[in-house]
Structure 1
Amino acid sequence: MNNMFNFINLHNGEEGKNKVLENVTSNISFRGSNLWILACAIIIASVGLNVNSTAVIIGAMLISPLMGPIVGAGFALGTYDFTLLKKSFKNLLIATVVSLLVSALYFYISPFKDVQSELLARTSPNIYDVLIAFFGGLVGVIAITRVEKGNPIPGVAIATALMPPLCTAGFGLATFNFSFFVGAFYLYTINCFFICIATFLVVKYLKYPSSIVDNKYEKRIRYSITFLILIMIIPSSYLAYNLFQEKKFTKTAELFLQKEFEKNGYTLIYKKINYNATPKTIDVAFLNKKFTPEEIKLYNKLLADNGLFNTTINIRQNNSDLKSEILNEINKNNTNISEKDIALSNLRSELDKYKVSDSTLGKELQILFPDMSDVSYGKISEFAGTDSTRLQLFMVYSGKGINEPQLKRWLEKRLNEKNIELLKRPEIKE
């Protein structure tokens, strides 16, 4: 039993408590370089959200110093150090206001104000975001309290995702879309709060020294934390339930369309399922099938029989607006396809640099140099003692009596390559 406890004991490999508190306190303040790094990270995250680039957003999360005051607040709660708590909240407020102002200014100036998928992903927080923030914060504070910090810190910065929702809130302010602002800022608040709570729990578990001894204060803090947890969890749980209902409705609607239309041979060319409308709507259009008003009424009656309550199906026929919507979807798909084609083309051209694509070269070598065997050739990058690199063709072969200068001259002319290196395999003695 003791061995099992040693496996999960967080006191193993723990850094000295005074040193940890000193490091946490030093990372709280947003002055000088920290504020500049934060502003740059905000701009990078905003650009990433603007151009829908996940890689850029991840980069911004990695360099953001926002975790400092949040972890500081968790340590302050765990040790009942109200001076540290006040300092942490003050710096978090400064960081939040600066982030909102910089991101709002960027999106206000930016000519591209389309709502991308990366932006939309930060406007509807739910219970899963609570779990990510809590367990991400747990990993983060465990890593902070270790002697060897290891690799978790960058992963925590990515998982807890503090920058993107804050920048999305800035987008909401810049475009006067207050539903975006509220949703994104709520997600940011969830992340901050549950990272703080995870820190508080680990600090209490590791028994960091308390600044007060009055049990009344401790009880008040516990009650306040429990109350705030409920305030955070209840709306996010409702949003998660709503998301589940939306997914369930969409799946049921898809099955209905498949059963009633696609299995009967009707070609569906347009489909839009709107769960948030009142009543819920399913808009569809078909390639050549025309429905009578009586048929449309019948399909609307069948909706409830298939579990689609408070729902209307709209079959769109001879509608010029529909044509423009379909063309827009096609154009979006073509844009995505062209971007993929460019990426594939770039990859192919990069691979071609290293490839000797000549199917007859091996046969010609056998005729001109019959004693040669086990030939391998290809291009590799050679570092010429500087930051620049060059491609060099290497040929490795086996065989006796090979005239290497003659072979090299022939290869230079045959392949139009000047940078060729010949390597003879050593004979293996049995």
Structure 2
Amino acid sequence: MLITSTIIATLGLLVDSPAVVIGAMIVAPLMNPILSCAFGISTSDGILIQRSLVTILLGSATVMLLAWALDEAVPTTILSQEIIARTTPNIVDLGIALAAGAAGAFSLTRPKIANSIAGVAIAVALVPPLCVAGIGLGLHDDIGVSVETAVPIGIGNQVTTGALLLFCANLIGITVAASLVFLWQRYGHWRRAGVSLVSLGLLLAVVSGPLSGAMGEFILEKRIDSQIAKLWERYPHYREVIQLKNLSVQTNSKGVKVDFQLYAPSSLLDDQILDQLHGELSQVLEKSGLGTVTTTIRHVPTEVRSYRSTLAP
């Protein structure tokens, strides 16, 4: 089942099909050993914990290697939206994992709602991030990105690192929440599971750091999107024919880098408008103490044609 779900997920990622990737989530059996590990933690069953961890590690390695092999057989030339979406996790993904872990554990303690586990598998992704990590192992610097996707993203190692971070967040979040639910349902004892819970708490804190940083970039993207929308309000005739696409924000110790595309007729976007747009964005971001603001605007020229026809009564 794990092999078939990996094949489905990897091919779905390569052809950018959300429906196929969702189908792979339902087929994937990785949720079971994670919940078993959580149950072992709550009941202080060391053997169950060890067997579950070995299953998780072997299963994860199998998925990554098979995804890498499939990517080598069907070489990736453009990163799809489905791939890119799993390379930039944030703290929201950890919240989803915690909620999914609680739901999964609770459904196991209530036979009447055991069917809910399929919904949990869809809500939190386990196999797709591992497939993206495997795909990232074979990526090269000359790989492009689709016009519909975010433009500047990491290639190769950065893709693998981002996907593995998402998987680790899901793994730790599910395990923590499921362990707490099992203990709440009186499977095991709080005191005997204390050491394991403290260890999980530390892991949760470690993974929350980079996820919180990504969340900051996500919030910045929303602020920039809002600022651009306000600018277009002063130019309503622009708003009708100009589209903002692929907004990306990257922060570092030196400042913030903003990158986006504007689809607009060549006659509308002159240097004055673009300079004004960069100036307003810089003012907003510099007030936040983010340092130097670097804005890259990619202008994609378009042609707008309007047609009107009168229908006979």
**Shared fold (TM-score, shorter chain, > 0.5):** yes
Distance 1:59 1:301 in 2: 43
Unpaired segments ≥5 residues, structure 1? 1-36, 317-321, 331-430
1:113, distance to aligned residue in structure 2 (A):
3.2
Q: Is the 8 A contact 2:278 2:295 kept in 1?
A: no
1:181 is aligned to 160
Aligned length: 278
Question: Cα offset for 1:168?
Answer: 0.9
Partner residue of 1:353? none
Contact 2:89–2:165 (8 Å) recurs in 1: yes
Q: CA 1:315–1:141 in 2, change beyond 3 Å: closer, same or farther?
A: closer
SS at match of 2:250: coil
Does residue 225 (structure 1) correspond to residue 203 (structure 2)? The answer is: no
Structure-2 separation of matches of 1:195 and 1:130? 9
2:129 maps to 1:154: no
State yes or no: 1:280 paired with 2:258.
yes
Aligned residues with identical type, % of pairs: 29
Q: Is the 8 A contact 1:76 1:85 kept in 2?
A: yes
SS at match of 2:63: helix
Q: Distance in 2 between matches of 1:221 and 1:120?
A: 34
1:112-160: per-residue Cα shift (whole Å, max 9, x none)?
A: 4321111111111111111111111111111112233443111011111
1:201 corresponds to 2:183: no
Shift of 1:250: 2.4
Runs of 4 or more, structure 1, over 4 Å off, are 263-274, 281-286, 289-292, 295-298, 310-316
The residue number in structure 1 matching 2:59 is 95
Q: Which residue pairs with 1:190 in the alignment?
A: 169
The equivalent residue for 1:120 is 84
Shift, 1:221, TM fit: 2.5
* 3-state DSSP of counterpart to 1:148: helix
| Whole-angstrom CA distance in 1 between matches of 2:178 and 2:11 | 31
What is the one-letter code of the residue matched to 1:303? E
| Structure with the larger RCO, 1 or 2 (CA within 8 Å, 6+ apart) | 2
Gaps in structure 2 of 5+ consecutive residues:
141-155, 287-291, 305-313
Is the partner of 1:123 in helix, strand or coil? coil
Please state how far the C-alpha of 1:66 moved relative to its aligned partner.
Answer: 0.7
1:276 and 1:132 map into 2 onto residues whose CA distance is: 23
Q: Rg larger in 1 or in 2?
A: 1
Q: For residue 39 of structure 2, what is the aligned residue in structure 1?
A: 75
What is the Cα deviation at residue 302 of structure 1? Answer: 4.5
Change (3 A) 1:72 1:265: closer
TM-score, normalised via structure 1 length = 0.57
Describe the SS at the equivalent of 1:125: coil
Supply the RMSD in Å over aligned alpha carbons: 3.2
Q: CA deviation at 1:253?
A: 2.6
Q: TM-score, normalised by structure 2?
A: 0.77
- Specify the alignment match of 1:245 in structure 2: 220
Structure 1 residue 82: Cα displacement? 1.1
CA distance in 2, matches of 1:315, 1:142: 48
